[in-house]
A and B are shown apart, each in its own frame.
Chain A
């Protein structure tokens, strides 16, 4: 299935990627080719087949409710590109949802 540049722009916003117009055009071309290939799957009869999301048949893995040492604040913030003494900083989030 072909994907339009307009769809590419919509998906890019969902994925929080900034694409230049050229990048968006190239992306549309390349992804369209890949998606066309995916059409192969339409020929598989999957009626009544349960999806398989995990390759292990493990259940009920739980940990005890116990406090364990974490990071001190300096280590937690050490990799932050923009911070102050206590917090990570970002452009104002007011009005965002």
Chain B
């Protein structure tokens, strides 16, 4: 890719839904997909007289995320009201955190494609807040009104705000993938964009070198991005658009008010969104219905100690201790913690990390995806599969036969030896194979000549004949012995 005449500067504001059973301030379920207005109570509808009480699990999950994002965790945190009117916000305010957020100043390292080192994206703050409900525009029968569903109202969200450290649309996508992976590992959030459990807005502008120094374009907030792919596309579009506008107008940061634009998925463009100036006066003040939460340094340490190995650590370990390349390590780690655990056991049993990685990627995950199950429900335990791989590595089975054993185990369970027996694969004595090979080499001088002239492929006919004489021989072993014999002739 040719160097761009500008630097793209992006900061993200991410909202993720915490994996709790109940809402942030009441006992209503947070389950996705219920019929409208069937998961509410007086508290989340904001009926007169109700009071919020904080969900302990939500707070614990937020702490965990904050620790994993290397944040400075506040030992004293409080809640504030953000006041604005919207029909899906039944109280007329959102309970959020303003001046004393749960934590600040963290970072997340993300793998970088063209740099050897990871890129460090700094986090400004992480805080807890409640979600609003949903406004559904009713286009049926051309009705000019909206319908309000409050099932989501009060769902616990974690807001994560990054510094403008992201330098390309692709990096924004990588950051989100890495964040999602991390929060999945921690079981803090499932970060499912389709179900709205991860939402992201981006602030983007360009830094353009000019003879007068670096010029910054006005910052634009981009909304309505419904997938990681959409984030990448929207930011790429927006960067080009800003470049075009700058070339045309020369307008710089501070010369026009901050603009909000929405990504139009179908047209693949961003469009300006209407926003009234007064709506930004949120009149934050301390939420008088909730008391502050304090955390001791010991509790923070306990949380940090409980995180376990995180994706970045695991990637490093798979490369260093199991000899995997970056790609394979990535694929496994991206599958989640239980896949990595399966791999680690499998590699230890079979003694070959690379082989274990291949079997998982080509065979295990195929089945897992086909059956739409989790790897923890995969029927062949890693110890069993490890034995199969050992048989293949030791020459007792060739790879196709190994696969047949795999398929048999998948269907019937049991031990690998039982599968081998059931499939009628017999171990052939190596001396027998040696004798057979000598016979074949002696009987096929033409083939031998071809092999000697460099056409190794010609061996195929010897292997074929060997298999005809004894279907249980391992073709790889036949090939190996024949080559040896020919070399010695």
Contact = CB atoms under 8 A, between A and B. Distances in A.
Direct contact, A vs B (beta carbon within 8 Å): yes
Contact of A65 (B20, B137, B275, B278): B20
A70 B41 contact: yes
B22 A68 contact: yes
Nearest to A54: B288
Contacts, number: 134
Interface of B: 20-22, 26-29, 35-42, 44-45, 53-59, 85-88, 135-137, 144-150, 260, 273-276, 278-279, 281, 283, 285-286, 288, 290-294
Given A65-B20, A97-B279, A58 B291 contact: yes
Chain A interface residue bracket vs B: 35 or more
Contact of A54 (B86, B87, B137, B286): B286
A53 B286 contact: yes
Given A14-B283, A58-B291, A91-B145, A86 B278 contact: no
Interface string A35-54: 00000000000000000011
Contacts of B57: 64-65
A62 B22 contact: no
Contact of B53 (A63, A67, A77, A97): A63
B291 A84 contact: no
Interface in A5-56: 10, 13-14, 16, 53-54, 56
A92 B144 CA distance: 6
Nearest to A90: B87
A2 interface: no
A84 B45 CA distance: 17
A56 B290 CA distance: 11
B136 to A, nearest CB: 7
Contacts of B35: 73, 86
A93 B480 CA distance: 74
Contacts of B286: 53-54
Contacts of B44: 70
A62 B86 contact: no
22 contacts: A54-B291, A61-B53, A61-B54, A62-B54, A64-B56, A67-B29, A68-B26, A68-B27, A68-B41, A70-B28, A71-B42, A76-B37, A76-B150, A77-B37, A86-B147, A87-B37, A87-B148, A89-B145, A89-B146, A93-B88, A96-B86, A97-B260
